[in-house]
Amino acid sequence: MSSQDDDKLIEGHDYDGIQELNNPLPKWWMITFFLTIIFAIFYYAYYEILSGPSSDQELATKMQKVEAAQEAAKPSLDKIVASINREELRSDAQMMKKAKKIFKRKCAACHGREGQGMIGPNLTDKYWMHSKGDFKGVLEAIREGFPEKGMQAWKEIIDENQQLYLTEFVLGFQGTNPANPKEPQGELIE
Amino acid sequence: MSLQMDELKTQHYDDKTVVHFLWATLFWGVIAFVVGLLAALQLSYWGFNLNLEWLTFGRVRPLHTNAAIFAFAGNAIFAGIYHSTQRLCRVRMFSDALSKIHFWGWQLIIVSAAITLPLGFSQSKEYAELEWPIDIAITLVWVVFAINFFMTLKNRKEKHMYVALWFYIATIITVAVLHIFNSIEIPVGYLNSYPVYAGIQDALVQWWYGHNAVAFFLTTPFLGLMYYYIPKAANRPVYSYKLSIIHFWALIFIYIWAGPHHLLNTALPDWAQTLGVVFSVMLWAPSWGGMINGILTLRGAWDLLRTDPIIKFLITAVTFYGMSTFEGPLLSIKAVSSLGHYTDWIVAHVHGGTLGWNGFLVFGMIYYLVPKLYQTDLYSKKLATLHFWIGLAGILIYYLSMWAAGITQGLMWRAINEAGQLVYPDFVETVTAIVPLYWVRALGGTLYIIGTIIMLYNLRQTVKASKGLREEKVTAPLTERKKNDHEDKGHRKLEGMMVTFSILSFIAIAVGSAIEIIPILTVNDYAKYEKVIEPFSPLEIAGRDIYIREGCYTCHSQMIRKLDFDVLRFGKASTIEESMYDRPFQWGSKRTGPDLARVGKKYPHLWHYKHMENPRSTVAGSIMPNYPWLLDKKTDFYSLRRKIYVLKSLGVPYADEVVKNADKVAEEQAKIIADELRAQGVNDDKLEQKEVVALIAYLQELGQKPLIRNINLEK
């Protein structure tokens, strides 16, 4: 920074006792200003005059990557269902307890705490609209949801492994008789 | 010597007005801070919304921002300008009557804001929420202030205008331009209106205004105050006259362009975003020019920083200014914005500026002014020092907690795993993660308020011990304006030419404004489209007006950005057409809750009904307030004809029958939704009349409207 010698008062600059010094613009400050101006010119030229990508193109590139990753990671439902053992699921008390908690937090608002049905259908009766009452059907319902009917897809929100326990938990409602059940919907599946 | 000359000789500065503005600053300051604390607590625990409609977050937040900006900072600016301008011009303010009108008019505006905002009368445009009658009042009072100021300048006995005055000139001109252009609206009732701009136009004009409200209400006038009070308090000359010239002109010219950095990665055309980025980056050095001049003025008197609480406040304020003006350009880089935008990082950024720069500068100025005006010593330097440290701790706690909250949440939003899926798909999870930090922030705010109360006590004791206010005598005999013996050249010459200087300032801010805004307003992008979006039905408009009244936009955006993680979470990126008839636009600036641009049909009506009554009944851990009154209050069907008529006249393609029968059309639609809700178990036979039905109608159509043939094109 400039030395004390620069600190000369400017003659005639006196406003209510305030005086001004004739120090030059600090060099580092000028360089900074200059560099930002050069950055601005190049940045603007690249995106708006030369062939820099538009924001739509940038998004499309990113989405392609994401979609490719999704495609590669897609599990086959049949494979999952074939590989599980429902007894084993049920015997893992800790995971089942967690499933119960998830149901309370994410599902009960529509299906009722005891699965008795409210906004969504009753899950304790033998009447099913989509799921046919089997493991694959319920798992699919949870994973894909019914976005048109007001239930979102949960496959990205609930952990993959946890979905299996949740399915088992939902199937566990069968045969319970909660208070205020919603009237049956769908077809009877024995 | 003639009698007249004698009279003139004993002229006094108008310090009464200064003191009035000072006490008003403190009075409204405390209110603004306390309301801010309430808002902070509401985000920590939803129960602080108290289930009272006029005290929910959506209404409290605009109350806080308006009080802090226009009541606290506004009155402080006026106090400082009235005090320093008279001394810098060595003449009393032009007109005592205008000073009175200015003072009382401004307080009246604040009171009317404090009444109408909690009642839900709001345009939902940030820092411009006040409705049209108040907008007109603001314009009138501002003109009074301008006349009073410029006539004082004209009467000045000092040939040249000191740099502080340059900043005041730029402030007065620009704020007038910003306020008038952003407030062009068509009334639909005594306290309701629709802006003439829609969608993207409204967004651009609003953020041109919003950004420059920060620039020309919270920056330029404060730089002017800095240039007067730091040299006065430190009794040191200003570091560099040359620097003050360069950074003044660079600052006002560049600042005005930077508005689009509030809209990065949105549907705003790329060229406007690019301008926003580059001008924000170029703003860094001119801003720091002010900081350098402020801090280096202390050269040779650094020990004052240890001993004098006034200098402590002033220099710390300038340091915060430097921090904020470094962080601002940083946040304007698109990649950084994609992380910080919509999060609490922005809240941290703003409060570094307001609590640190504006607040501390005002406190320093007040500690300087009160003893001076009352011709006594400050009651206790120790208490002032205590105030400084408590306030500083408050700011740092506030800043760091919100910084951590913002970056944490921003990182959670954008986390995508190898399977191409969001790691935290559940939005509320990203909210509950930062709620503890909301408590920490509230602690920071509390400390800041405690500091302010200590100051009030200190000032009260100071005034009590004094002999009361004594207006200072004008320092020099009021002869003709001082002339210097040699010809001025260059900028020095300009400093003696008030009118030319003002015109040049106007041109400096007009260039950027025109280049950015005129293309978006005049290239009627919409008319080119063969298809336009189907407008909201009358009932949905009624719902939309409720959404605006409740300030849902303070927590919810309606703008899915062109970013992969936004698209994964909320759906297809928002397009310009989707909000093309939105008056005012609802893109929002903060995502305390999820984006709602495509929430339509995501949930059944009943879900929304229960969610509005109590969000925690459907989403555990939600911090959204309850809106039980929406289940009781009746929808205003009556005003719909007028509203739809005004919207049609602004170019929204409604059929004539819809305008004529707007209320009936709305009632029919309400009946359908109400019947559905009743079938699902809602027990209310007057449900169709209730506001919640209109709101649900609106929410369910967000992102659902199809494109239709453009009937304007057929004509």
Q: How confident is the model at residue A189 (pLDDT cuts 50, 70, 90)?
A: confident
Give the pLDDT of residue B531.
72
Secondary structure of B112-153 in HEC code, one letter for each residue: HHHHHCCCCCCCCCCCCCCCHHHHHHHHHHHHHHHHHHHHHH
Identity of the residue in A56, A69, A110 whose CB atom sits nearest the CB atom of B418:
A69
Mean pLDDT computed over B204-229: 95
Q: What is the DSSP letter of B337?
A: H
Identity of the residue in B87, B288, B607 whose CB atom sits nearest the CB atom of A29:
B288
Identity of the residue in A23, A24, A36 whose CB atom sits nearest the CB atom of B281:
A36
Q: B235 to chain A, minimum CA–CA distance in Å?
A: 8
Q: What is the DSSP letter of A128?
A: E
Lowest mean pLDDT among A154-163, B234-243, B518-527, B676-685: B518-527
With a CB cutoff of 8 Å and minimum separation 6, the contacts of B301 are: B234, B235, B236
Lowest mean pLDDT among A65-69, B427-431, B456-460: A65-69
Say what percent of chain B tops pLDDT 90.
86
Distance from C-alpha of B242 to C-alpha of A27, rounded to nearest angstrom: 13
Identity of the residue in B84, B420, B563 whose CB atom sits nearest the CB atom of A67:
B420
Q: Do A44 and B274 touch (CB under 8 A)?
A: yes
Interface test with A, best of B90, B483, B493, B562 (most A CBs within 10 A): B562
Identity of the residue in B244, B265, B278 whose CB atom sits nearest the CB atom of A44:
B278
Give the pLDDT of residue A148.
83
Q: How many residues does chain A have?
A: 190
Q: What is the DSSP letter of B562?
A: S
- Number of A to B CB contacts under 8 A, please give it: 162
Query: What separation in angstroms does the CA of B643 have from each of B133, B545, B663, B669?
Result: 18, 10, 10, 17
Domains of chain A by residue range: 3-72, 77-188
Closest CA to B56 of B147, B136, B118: B118
Closest CA to B259 of B213, B326, B303, B207: B207
Q: Between these two residues, B105 and B526, which has the higher pLDDT value? A: B105
Residue type, B479: T
Lowest mean pLDDT among B99-108, B390-399, B524-533, B691-700: B524-533
Q: A168 to chain B, minimum CA–CA distance in Å?
A: 22
Identity of the residue in A20, A58, A63 whose CB atom sits nearest the CB atom of B237:
A20
Residue B346 exposure: Cα atoms within 13 Å on the Cβ side: 19
Structure token pair of residue B60: 């409290």
- Reported as a single tens digit per residue, the pLDDT across A112-156 is 999 999 889 999 999 999 988 889 999 999 998 998 888 999 988
ipTM of this complex prediction, to 2 decimal places = 0.89
Mean pLDDT computed over B303-317: 96
- Reported as a single tens digit per residue, the pLDDT across B353-374 is 999 999 999 999 999 999 999 9
Q: Do B601 and A17 touch (CB under 8 A)?
A: no
What is the full DSSP assignment across B206-223?
HHHHHHHHHHHHTTHHHH
Residue A119 exposure: Cα atoms within 13 Å on the Cβ side: 21
Q: Do B562 and A13 touch (CB under 8 A)?
A: no
Distance from C-alpha of B419 to C-alpha of B460, rounded to nearest angstrom: 65
Mean pLDDT computed over B684-705: 96
Q: Please, are residues B130 and B123 in contact by the beta-carbon 8 Å criterion? A: yes
Q: Which residue of A has its CA nearest to B239?
A: A21
CATH code for residues B532-709:
1.10.760.10
Give the pLDDT of residue B715.
44
pLDDT at residue B1 above 50?
Answer: no
CATH code for residues A77-188:
1.10.760.10
Give the pLDDT of residue B451.
98
Give the pLDDT of residue B476.
63
**Taking the model in full, what pTM does it have?**
0.87
Q: A109 to chain B, minimum CA–CA distance in Å?
A: 5
Set of chain B residues whose Cβ sits within 8 Å of the Cβ of A59: 562-564, 567, 573
pLDDT at residue A3 above 60?
Answer: no
Specify the CATH architecture of the domain B15-470+487-516: Up-down Bundle (1.20)
Give the pLDDT of residue B264.
97
- Reported as a single tens digit per residue, the pLDDT across B464-487 is 999 888 888 786 655 556 566 667
Mean pLDDT computed over B396-421: 96
Mean pLDDT computed over B376-388: 97
Give the pLDDT of residue A159.
87
Q: Do B270 and A9 touch (CB under 8 A)?
A: no
Say what percent of chain B tops pLDDT 70.
95
Lowest mean pLDDT among A177-181, B27-31, B398-402: A177-181
> Boundaries of CATH 1.20.210.10 in chain B?
15-470+487-516
Contacts with A, B 650-669, CB within 8 Å: none
Contacts with A, B 563-592, CB within 8 Å: 563-564, 567-568, 573
Q: How confident is the model at residue B512 (pLDDT cuts 50, 70, 90)?
A: confident
